[in-house]
Amino acid sequence: MSANETSRRPFIAGNWKMHKTAGEAAAYIARLKELLPSPLDADVAVAPTFVALPAALAAAQGSPIGIAAQNVFWEKSGAFTGEVSTAMLEDLGVTWVILGHSERRQYFGETDETVGRRLRAVLDGRMGPIVCVGERLEEREAGRTWEVLTAQLAGALDGVSPDEAGRLTLAYEPVWAIGTGRTATPEVAQEAHAFLRQELVKRFDKPIANSIRILYGGSVKPENAAGLLTLPDIDGALVGGASLEAEVFAKIIDFKGA
């Protein structure tokens, strides 16, 4: 038995990005509740936009569907127009928060350092951070994948204590696989996940590294989910496009039954 079969419960999260109004979010969650496999062998979450969080939380109440935010700012309050703090999300009942998504890095100036600051703020509160890392195509082609991942991990995780590490979820999202239909092959994905796990062993220790879930993200669909999610170091998925329809997302959640 591989380690993830013994100790890591799969985690399937849908990142809706800039999709769905509050009403659409509530209707989706009502439908997803009906479609969840029983028994449910995975943690499940969806990440609506900030403005749809209250409606999503109300719709998900009493269900196993967790609600994630797509980002958060590191300051507690103040003159930071357009930003949202961890306390504001916690007050709503948000349980997870995605940090350092490649679209934040690519379009909104996010850096390894700012991801680290956001992670610090989240760890000082109560939510579970989902920290995204992943190389761009030109970095992979230049043979720099491991160097990029190491730097991204350092930016995020320097200063994270072993006790705090148990609250982490990582997401490996190779940028060339996001929204492109070009999924990493199981071999490429497993190799990167194993690399990240080794980095976690070096940074913390083996039991801690083995307890941290590493999700794969990048064109995950019902057709390729089982092939990725049954690999030893892939503990779940962060799903973009294929999470936007409840029927399709439910099939990914039920990857074992597919």
Query: Which residues does the annotation mark as catalytic?
Result: 101, 173
The residue type at 198: Q
Q: What's the Cα-to-Cα distance from 255 to each of 42, 130, 230, rounded to whole Å?
A: 10, 21, 9
Nearest residue to ligand 13P by CB is 240
Peptide bond into 39 cis (omega under 30): yes
Stretch that binds ligand 13P, among 59-67, 73-81, 137-145, 217-225 (CB under 6 A): 217-225
* Interface with ligand 13P (CB under 6 A), residue from 121, 231, 239, 253: 239
Question: With contact defined as beta carbons under 8 Å apart, do 110 and 74 qualify?
Answer: no
* Interface with ligand 13P (CB under 6 A), residue from 116, 218, 222, 236: 218
Stretch that binds ligand 13P, among 87-95, 162-170, 203-211, 235-243 (CB under 6 A): 235-243
Q: Which residues contact 160 (CB under 8 A, 6 or more apart)?
A: 119, 123, 168
Q: Is 240 in the site for ligand 13P (CB under 6 A)?
A: yes
Short-list 223, 87, 201, 41, CA closest to 214: 201
Q: Which residues share a beta bridge with 216?
A: 172, 237
Report in angstroms how near the CB of residue 87 gets to ligand 13P at its nearest.
Answer: 25
Q: Which residue has the tokens 């916690």?
A: 90
The residue count for binding ligand 13P (CB under 6 A) is 14
CB of 190 or CB of 210, closer to ligand 13P: 190
* Interface with ligand 13P (CB under 6 A), residue from 178, 189, 200, 252: 178
Q: Which residue has the tokens 């669909």?
A: 221
Q: Is 185 in the site for ligand 13P (CB under 6 A)?
A: no
Report in angstroms how near the CB of residue 131 gets to ligand 13P at its nearest.
Answer: 12
Site residues for ligand 13P, 91-120, by CB under 6 A, read: 101
Q: Give φ, ψ of 133 to 5 degrees.
A: -135, 160
Tokens, residue 229: 């999610």
Residues making contact with ligand 13P (CB under 6 A): 15, 101, 173, 178-179, 217-220, 238-242
